[in-house]
Every structure is written in C-alpha cells, then in structure tokens.
Structure 1
C-alpha cells in the first residue's frame, strides 16, 4: 500500500504494508517537551511548529548571544581592573570564544547535525546560560571590591606630587576562581555560536523553500550582529552604578571607579534559558516540510520512479571521516573556507589593534576602561562605536532579502564577494598614506620615550601610566600625561580639562607666566580630516564585509550534500578559530610588540604607546595582503561555482550531481503522452495508458484510502502554507 510508514498519531493502528520512501516517526513532528518516553505535546502548541516561529526564536537566541558577547567585552576591563588581570591575559580571554569554536567546531557540528538539531541548540544555550549565571559568584563570594587600593586621589587625574592609586590583589583564590569562570563563559559562548551557525541555520535551510532561505538566514545573522549593541547599552547602564567601597566614590572617568559589572549576567542568563526552553520544543523536522517530502515521494512512487542508491562509500557514507573527506575534496568548499579564514584573520586582528593604532597615530587616548568605553571624550568615536553594529546588521538583512528577491545567481554572488575583498584590500593599503603630522611627545627620541625630566622628576609619576596626553595652552608642546607635564592643579570647563602650574610647560616655553595646559592632543586640521575619513571608511568596510555573510552561507549549503551541511559550517569555524585567533593573533601581537615605543620606567611592562609609522605599516600591509589573497580565492570560487544552482528545490543531489534513477519497467514500456496533450488534459496522465495507470494506483490505494486521507489532512494542519501540487517531472529528493 502506498503511504508513509509512521506518519500517524500514536492512537491509530498502522498496517505493516503501509509503506513509502519517506520514513518518519510521529513523535518527531510535534512540538513539546519530554524525555525517557514521557512527552508533553499539547494540541494547541502544534500550530506554532512553523519555520517563521522557529526563525523568530532562533534569531532571539542569536540576539541574546550577541548581547552576552557585547556585555562581556564591555565589562571585561572592569573585571580585570578589580581582580588585577594583566592586559595580555585579558586579550587572550577575549578571543577564547573563537578558539573554543576552533577546537570543538567539527565535533559539535557533526554529531549535532546527525541528531535532533533543536535539542542540540537548546542544550548549548542552556550551558551558556549557566556559565553566564556563574560569573555572578565572584561578586557574591568576594564582595564588590576584591582588589584593595592604596590611598590616593579620587579624581583620577595623576597630578604632580599626588599619591598614585595602585591596585593590589588580596587573594590568589579570587583571582584564579574568577579567571576560570571567565574562560567557562567564553566556552559556553563558543558552543552556543557553533550550534546557532551549524545547527540552527542548517535547520532553517532544510525546512524552507530554497528561494526563501537567504532572507531567513539573513534575519538570524543580522540580529546576532545587532546583539552586541544591546549588550553595550546594558553594560553602560550597569557600569554607571558604583559598587565599590562606600567610604569613597570617585568620578566615573577615574580608573578607580568600580561599576556593577556583575549586574547584567543574571538578566542575560535568565533570558537565554527561557529561549533555550522554547527551542527545545521544536520537532526534528517541521511538519510542513515532512508533508511536502511525503507527497513528493508518493507521486514519484506512483510514477515508478526509484532512486538508485550510490554504492561508493565516498558518497554514501555518513561517517565522520568519509564526510570530512568529501568536504576536503570539494574545491568550492576548500577555496571558500580559505577565503573566509584570510578575511577573518585580517579583520578580527586589525580591529583588535585599531584603538592602539589610533592612539599612536592621532594621539587620541583609548576610552576609559572602567566605564566600558562609554566615557569616551571623543564624541565622534563614541558615535561610530554605537552606529557600527546597527549599520552592519542592516547590511546583512538587506543582503539576505536581496539575494532571495532577485535570486542572485552564484556567479554574481561570488563576483560580489571578490569585489568586496578587493575593495577592502585597497582600503587597507591606502591607510598607510594617511596624512597626520602630529607634534612629537616631549621626551621622544629615536622611537623611544624618556619621560622623566628635570621638571617632573620630583612629581612622583606612576611607573607605567596610561597614555593621557595634554597640550600646552598655545598648542606647540605635547606631553605624555598631566603628571609628566608637571601640572599641580586641574579644573573642568564644559567637559574640557584645564591644568595649571605645569612646570614642564614653563620650561618648554621659557616663561613662568605661561603654565597652563589642556587635556587631549594638540589641534591639527590635517589630523582632524584624516581622523574623520578613517572613521567613515572603518564603518563602510565593516558593512561591506557583513554583506558577504549570508551569501557565504548559501554558497556553502548548495555546494555539499544536505547531510554534510552542518559539518561544512563546522569545518569553517574550526579553521577560522585555529588559524585566525592563534597563529594570526600571535603574528599581530609580534608586530605590535616590535613597534612599541614606551613600556614604562622599567621597560618590562605592557606597551603603553607604539610607533605609529611602524605599527601602521605592519598591520595595514599584512591585512591588505590577506584581503588580496581572499580576493584571489574568491575569484577561484567564482570560476568553479558560477553555474551552481542556488534556488531550485528539485536539486537535492550530491554536490551538483544527481544519481541515476530508475523507472518501473512496466511504466517505462508504455508510450509517453505528448507534451501538448499533457498540458491540456489530465496533469498526471491521459489516454489509455493514463486510465490503466490510474486504475492500478486506485486498486493499490483502495483498502486504506480513507485512513490515509485522514492522516495526511491531519498533518497538513501543521502547514502554514498550502501544499502545492507536485509536478509529474519533479525529481525525488535524495535525502
């Protein structure tokens, strides 16, 4: 009898002869919760088992995951200053998320892709929620101020003859305990990212029409990139709440400010856990897609079309090694993955050093770490930082919609990727010639700084202070900090810091009456124009690179067997994590260290200021070369993938090739109906052959006709769109 094997509700009796190519289990098509044979699947919940609801829930998880990442980045420096973490350690903590994806990407994507993908997403989300909540423990166990401080000024301005506040760790236990929890949180974020990209997006692609996949995937990726924006806003609100010792409350711009960095973690943890519960309710396959596959298989079986299964284990095996071998011998996948690795290595490491480069090039100090970067005296940089995530998310969303609406061909899509990579490479090279002839810092000689001079030797300046430039009032001399300028008093005038009684300014000008200085670098029209141009190009580059993400995912999914989609994403995450964030990160660190100009009095501290010409030359040339290689690899992808079909739902074959299929000999021996007559008469068959075939099919279906029709309609209640009549020439879905 023609029909699905187990496509009925559990209360109905199933005939053993009730068979079809599509083999489904009823419990896999219902929304609900349960384990060990106990399931809760209320009837009112089944109408939500649609791709639109799943995309909304998955996008919500991606948004919260991005918010957690943004909150972590914004609060890490506050945690580091409280517990005494070094800058190098903090920088490795920042990239441990991507390194975790590199280590676990292949394993998680492969095993999750073979099982219940919503269940895997929910499990990873639950683990991430748990690690977010655990980061609250250092505050509960060690109080609001685990680091004690020596007495000093509360203004945060290190003036001449002022006491310098030096943090001291009280307990090694608090240090190591917090460090372990931060790495655990990054591990949870890495697992969540793997699951969203390799399980969530593949689940969406498998359960929607191919022409709609790009738009829906674009929504998920766009909200995931918009999440850090919300995380930054949450961090700004939490860090603006003082949670340090109550006997003193410094200014928020001071390095002594202790914000409530822990306050946002229980909020994010709760929201992520709620979304994890919602994701876990979705079935292994959405009912609408199951019905479409079942109907297509029934039509093909009635027409006598049979799939000829491949006998070569290279194509048919679902094992890990065979699947990985298929990917590594797929030219499109290999070239596209290498292009992504080059792009990610260049962009991620360049952005990690961008603040240091701008600080050295334009003498613009980094934003206050204690306030998560929101106490930035440079309004233009603050505005750009806040606008970048929404603009990138908007470009991702628009690119996904454009690909779906106009059905951009693979040739044009890969050509666009090549153009973006080449444009970014040109931009990187052009930054080498940015014109900014700033004044040299007093004490600079042959690429080194000697800050201690006769005029400030008795000021008691810190051994390794952060760069905080001050300029003499007439704008001709630049000093490393107010203490090194010998300033003894400070006042604020409309958010502008004015220093007075600056002994080094008096010596430089040779006039005791001229002793004032103002905070910030000296004004230079050329530098101002270069600064604005640099910020605009930074946003434009980020937006252009963002438009590659959706097209890259679609290209990956259409270049492999459906069963290898998750592993293909995992392979990309693995190579990016292990190459871009380990050797790539070390390479950029080496370039930064080789261009260091000041490491404190002892010369062994972390670098405080770099040689702008050397650092700019190193990172711009390296990043430009990597982007140029990315453009070449993208061009090679265009050559091999320009004829790839991206939108046909009928092409579910193996890497751009279908297996041969056999028709039943009895049907094959009959005369074919002319094409014109088929269009005018019965869409299935006409003439004597059609009557004979329909009679045979009706005899086969008659014993269970009523029961089959009931169950098919019952399943169709789960469909959000009406099932279209399958074409007689529709090929069988191979997987």
Structure 2
C-alpha cells in the first residue's frame, strides 16, 4: 500500500470540510464571481508581509488556521499575565505593606485603561489594518510585563526580607554587606530596637508600613498598559477571527481556541507557584519554610518570563495581511449560493454581485458620527443590553473571587503560596477542558435552537449561584493563636518578655497550638541552622505534657510557622470546585456567540469594545475593591511596623470564608434577570447564519427597487446615468443581455 493511501487528514483539514455544502461552488465559479465583486486593491491586501517584503513562501501562512494558532498563543500569554497577578497578590501585599483593598485599587488600572480606550480602539481599529493594531497592543503588554518587575529591580527585596535572611541564613556564600550587622530574631527578653530600625530608614519610616508608594505606581502603570492590550486584542482580534470563519464552524473553532487559551490562566498559576517557591532573591534560601507567613517568593521573576513571550509574539502579527484570502472566497461563494437559492426569480449572479459591490461601497466610513449611530443601535438592542447587564453582574461575582482565591486557600487551608497556585491551576485546567469541549461539540453538531441555548444559560446561572453558596460550608475550623490580638491576649508566662506586635507564628511541640511569635511563646533560644527554625526553652510550652500552658513549668520547644492542619476538607473543596466550574464552563461558547450574533456584522467590533468598557467600568474595576474591603474587615492582625498600618497577617477564617463566597453568589443571582430577558427574546438571534442566504430581507433592506440602487450608487459617484445602474442590477434587457449570457456560461464551465 502506498504512503498516500495511509495518509490521514489533519485536524484543520477536517475542520475545513465541516459544514461544506454538498453543492459546493467550484473554484472556477468562485474565481469568476470574485472578479466581479473584488478590486485589485482588495486582492493585494490579502498578501502577507510588510512593505516590499512579501515573498511567495510567506503567502502560504495567510490562512485562518495560522491566525487561529497565533490568536490562541497570544491569548495564552495574556491569560498567564492575568492569573499571575492573582498568584502573587498576597506576596505583593506583604512585600509592599498593602491591604487587600489597596491591592484591588492597584489592579484596577487594567480596567481603567480598558474603559478609556476600548470603544475607540474597537471602532476605529476595525477599519484599519487589524493585525498591526493587535501587534501594537501586544507590544504594549510586553512593556507592561517588564514594568511590573521594575519595583524589585529598583527597590530590591526590602529591609525586612534582608533582616529575616540575615537572621536565619546558614550558608557560606552570603555577601559581606548583608552580614555587616547580624540581625536577631525576637525572643523573650530580646530587644530588637524597632525605633532604631525606623530611624535607619528615615523618620517617616518610608520603607516600613503604610504601603510603599513608588512600587504601587509602577504596578499601576503596568496594569494601565496591559488594559490597552486587552482592549485591542479582545475587540479587534476576536472580530478578525470571526470575519474569517464560517458561522457554522465558528462554535467549534472558538471552542478549540478556548481549550488552548485556558492553558494561559493555568500556566499563570503554575509559573506563580514555581516562582513563589523560590526566595525573593533566588540566590539564597533562608531557614524558614514556604508555609511560614513571613516567606516572600520571587514574585517578580514570572513577569520577566511573560514579557519575553509577549515581546517575541508581537512582531509576528505585523506580517499578517489586512484581510485573509479566504474572506474574499467566502464573499464570492455567498453570491453564488444566493443565486442558486433564488433561481427562477429573474435575478442572476450579476444582480447579487452588484448588490455585494453596492453594500461594500456604502459601508460606513470611520467617523464619530457613525460611531454614535452604532452606539445608538447597540443600546436600543434589547438582547444586547440584557446580555450586557448579566455579564456585568457575573463579572462582579467572579472578578474579585478569582483575584483573591489563592489568598483564600492560603489562609483557610494553611497552604503555602506556591501550593495554592498549583491547586488553583490544576482545578481550572480540569474543569475548563471538560466544560468547554462539551459546550463546543454541542453547539457545532447538535446546533440547539437559541431558545434552548439561552434557557440552558439561565439554568447555569442558578446552578453556579447554588454551587458557590454551598462552598461556604466547606472549610476548616477557625484557627486560634495565643497572642495580642482581638479575642486573645499575651499569656501570663510571657508577660514579662517585652514582646512587640511583630507577627511570627510558632507551632508548639504538640503540633496543634499556634503561638503569636517565639517571644510570646516565651522562647529564649533559636536554632537558625534548622529548616524550619527550632525554638527551645519556651516558657509557655510545657515539655513534660507536650501541651501549651499559660503558666506551666515551660521548657518546651516549637518550630517556626503554622501547625499542619488536621482538617480533611481541602480535597472536598477541590472536588466541589471542579464540578461547579465544569458545568459552568459548558456555556462559555454559547455566551460568546450571543455577544457576536445579537448585533449586526458591522457593529461587532464596537459591540465588543463597548462591552469591554461597561464590564470594566461597572464590573472589573469595583469587584476586587469590593471584595478586598470585605476581606480586610475579616482581618485580626495587621502589620503595624513603625506605627503604620500595612498588610494583614491573620484573618478570621470563618468570616473570610463567608465573604469569599456569599458576595459573588449575590451578584451572580442578580445576573439571572438579564438571562431571563435574553431567553425571552432569543428567537430573534441567528446563531448559525441560516438567515444569511435563505432570506432576501437583507437585500430588500439595502435596495427594494432599481431606483434605490441608482441612488445608492450615485451617492458614491460610481455611475453617472440610469443605464449603468440598470446594468449593475441585471435588469437591462438590451445590449447587456449578451454579455450576461457569456459570463453565465463561463461560470457554469
């Protein structure tokens, strides 16, 4: 058997064959009609390259499959940036002494720039060279990634990290400067001279507490720049993809893109987990475990990695053509299909070719006046407005939830920052693959009616609300810490130790009781060469009974960090997350189609841009701020270095769990009202392009008689008399009949 006989078609070959009509137009027919409706300038704009650099081998890449691959790769990198932000949130709060609310404000820069630019970029960019617009946006994202890492490169790891490293590092390759003054761990009757530390950094204590302003500015600007990139990519990039795909195959292509793109958020968490497992200065390793709340991971390293990826991708986009060649072929095929469907009505291929030319000539040119018209069409579109409302409510629900989810897992289940990100990424990957793949398959091959699709989305809203509410009841018992914070006090056994409010938890030798710090535990010795650090001769830990005591005989030992939780609810929490997100993800493809199919084709870009603006302004900007404020209200121990309030060290886990799930459940329930309106009006939506060639209503909307065709063409100064207008519509019965007969015969051949 020959090798050719065993050859199997590729995935993209199969995708191209999906949805093809049995009476598919021949290439000769397509070429003949294309000559009727396309100018040479339009054909030149389908060539890959820049300027005079347009080699023949490069033209092989002018395909929708190549752009889809590039689209997925870029979306993956952008997704990495977004979830990496969430992965390092708690570390940034500790490093720069920020509260959760302050961190939410800093991260809102992404959505502020989206609010400013999305509509303008989505509208005017759609009339320009879209791949190059996208290339500029991704270049902006690369710069934003590098800027996000600048605070570390400028300010370093911070004085507290240096002190902790100096006090606990047992290696031999430390720099001489770091050991100029050996730092001590706060033990019983050991004075750290906090006032002196503050004086060393200046009377205002600018490096301790209150939130460091310089790094916050850099991070905020980086968020502004990444927001510009998102505005361009998710408006122009999506419409460029949609315009180059058949509407029947779009659901499957979009599902494939989602499956690939979802690797981005997962990889973001995975990269975050790996980077945070390294000390903030990867050259050294202090003698504390990553479970210790004082641990600071290399949060800046991932931004450099993501920036290099985005920078390398941005240049390739400039090589894509203004329009892919397949778009011109589809326009020609559409004319042929319209002619076949309406055979016998006295209208031949010339009529529909003229209609296509006229429609393209009358297409709106970019202007603020036309932009206002498009916006008026959008906000009078009941389906689009209702879908906008439920989208905003859904974003308010999960925006803040996913931002602080790794932090929640750290505090609720006592996982390290790296572990939290690994688990978050793994559950996201599993659930999204299952749900998105199933949703795409159903939408492509079963092709349910709009009423069924929107009804199912309504069910998903109810299901997700109930599911996330149920997570309130899956958690670990509230952690009790012996120490100076609301609801507790300094034990009598260490009352004379002169302890400060510096939080540094110690697990008692019974592996159950947690002390506020080694000083509060009454410890007088520390073995910094052990990892984690071992504290001994502790007055508040009874060595004989292996339990903690308020007076006791003392003499026990403990280890730095939290005790290992005996709670076994973590695996149930992960399982519930996978089930809820898998079911919820089955509606992602349908939700995307509603956004695109509820509006006119020429309004798709501005619709996505306007959606981005409204969702950013009323959803993404307030959601982390609202959630951060609720989380801050659950704080028990605030950092108060040098008298200034910084990050939170210890939370009331019961309140944290309640706020983390109840707030998004309420917002998600409110989105149900928008879903019900979309469900009621859903019969108007054309999901699969069935009305595009089977109805002549669109043609009649453009021209209802020959006089209207004449007016439309004269407006563009394309013809000067009625004979030319009649020739364009195929109605002329004299000299043009012979020419029409000849062209028809050529097409049939």
**TM-score of the pair, normalised by structure 1:** 0.74
- Distance in 1 of aligned mates of 2:377 and 2:482: 61
| Match in the other structure for 2:245 | 208
Q: Counterparts in 2 of 1:192-591, with a 5 A limit?
A: 192-238=229-275, 244=281, 251=288, 253=290, 261-297=299-335, 300=339, 302=349, 304-305=351-352, 307=355, 319-354=370-405, 362=412, 364-365=413-414, 367=416, 373-374=417-418, 376=419, 381=420, 383-394=422-433, 395-434=435-474, 437-438=477-478, 440-442=480-482, 448-459=486-497, 461-465=499-503, 468=505, 470=507, 473=510, 475=512, 477-488=513-524, 500-506=536-542, 508=549, 511-512=552-553, 515-516=556-557, 520-521=562-563, 527-529=567-569, 531-591=570-630
Q: CA deviation at 1:196?
A: 2.4
Secondary structure class of the residue paired with 1:502: strand
1:722 match: none
CA distance in 2, matches of 1:58, 1:591: 37
8 Å contact kept, 1:214–1:400: yes
Match of 1:65 in 2: 78
Offset of residue 106 of structure 1: 1.9
Asked if the contact 1:365–1:469 (Cα under 8 Å) also holds between the matched residues in 2, the reply is no
User: Which stretch has the larger CA shift, 207-216 or 538-547?
Assistant: 538-547
Alpha carbons of structure 1 residues 469 and 108: separation in structure 2 relative to 1, 3 Å: farther
Distance in 2 (alpha carbons) for counterparts of 1:493 and 1:138: 31
Q: How far does residue 125 in structure 1 lie from its aligned partner after superposition?
A: 0.8
Aligned to 2:672: 631
Q: CA deviation at 1:502?
A: 3.4
TM-fit CA distance, 1:339: 0.9
Contact (CA 8 Å) 2:635, 2:650: kept in 1 or not?
yes
Structure 2 vs 1, CA of residues 87 and 660 (structure 1 numbering), >3 Å: closer, same or farther?
Answer: closer
Question: Are 1:153 and 2:167 an aligned pair?
Answer: yes
Return the alpha-carbon distance in structure 2 between the equivalents of residues 494 and 695 of structure 1. Answer: 99
**Superposed displacement of residue 287, structure 1:** 0.7
Distance verdict in 2 for CA 1:79–1:595, change over 3 Å:
closer
Distance 1:457-1:323 versus aligned 2 partners, 3 A rule: farther
Q: Deviations over 1:48-79 (max 9, x none)?
A: 11111100011111112222334444456656
Residue 116 of structure 2: aligned partner: 103
Q: Offset at 1:491?
A: 7.5
1:464–1:599 Cα contact (<8 Å) kept: no
Which of residues 608, 613, 629 in structure 1 aligns to 2:649?
Answer: 608
Contact kept in structure 2, 1:356 and 1:609, CA below 8 Å:
no
Measure the CA separation in 2 of the matches of 1:513 and 1:242: 34
Moved more, 280-289 or 491-500: 491-500
Cα distance change of structure 1 residues 486 and 535 upon mapping to structure 2, 3 Å threshold: farther
Alpha-carbon distance between aligned partners in 1 of 2:484 and 2:503, rounded to the nearest angstrom: 16
Q: Secondary structure at the match of 1:647?
A: coil
Mapped to 1, the partners of 2:95 and 2:127 lie a distance apart of 44
**In 2, are the aligned partners of 1:432 and 1:617 still within 8 Å (CA)?**
yes
Unaligned runs of 5+ in 2: 1-29, 170-183, 340-347, 543-547, 708-729
Aligned residues: 644
Q: Which residue of 1 aligns with 2:105?
A: 92
2:130 aligned with 1:117, yes or no? yes
The answer for the alignment partner of 1:647 in structure 2 is: 688
Q: Supply the distance in 2 between the matched residues of 1:433 and 1:262 (Cα, whole angstroms).
A: 35
The alpha-carbon distance between structure 1 residues 570 and 631, as it changes in their structure 2 partners (threshold 3 A), is: same
Change (3 A) 1:650 1:48: farther
**CA distances 1:152-204 after superposition (whole Å, capped 9, x unpaired):** 62269865556769798699799665444322322232222222221112111
| Change in 2 beyond 3 A, CA 1:490/1:425 | farther
Residues 233 and 216 of structure 1: is their aligned pair in 2 closer, same or farther, counting only changes over 3 Å? same
Contact 2:187 2:524 in 1 (8 A): yes
DSSP 3-state at the match of 1:428: helix
CA shift in 2, pair 1:469/1:193, >3 Å: farther
Out of 29, 46, 51, the position equivalent to 2:59 is: 46
Give the aligned partner of residue 684 of structure 1.
Answer: none
Match of residue 681 from structure 1: none
Give the drift of 1:484: 3.2
Taking the aligned partners of 1:513 and 1:158, their CA distance within structure 2 comes to 18
1:298-334 alpha-carbon deviations (Å, 9 max, x no partner): 7756353565979999xx9972211111111111111
2:221 corresponds to: 184
Distance 1:90 1:607 in 2: 12
Structure 1, 489-498 or 586-595: larger mean CA deviation = 489-498
Contact 1:432 1:620 in 2 (8 A): yes
C-alpha distance in 2, partners of 1:277/1:643? Answer: 41
Distance 1:40 1:62, change over 3 A: same
Say which of 28, 46, 49 aligns to 1:32. Answer: 49
Q: Distance in 2 between matches of 1:138 and 1:207?
A: 42
Q: 8 Å contact 2:406–2:424 — kept in the other structure?
A: no
In structure 2, what is the Cα distance between the partners aligned to 1:605 and 1:137? Answer: 21
Q: Distance in 2 between matches of 1:496 and 1:147?
A: 18
8 Å contact kept, 1:410–1:555: no
Q: Tell me, what secondary structure is at the counterpart of 2:126?
A: helix
Return the alpha-carbon distance in structure 2 between the equivalents of residues 444 and 235 of structure 1: 33
Coordinate RMSD, CA, aligned: 4.7
CA contact (8 A) 2:288 2:532 kept: no
Q: How far apart are residue 535 of structure 1 and its match?
A: 2.7
CA contact under 8 A between 1:217 and 1:400: conserved in structure 2?
Answer: yes
- The range that moved more, 399-408 or 601-610, is 601-610
How far apart, in 1, do the equivalents of 2:148 and 2:704 lie? 62
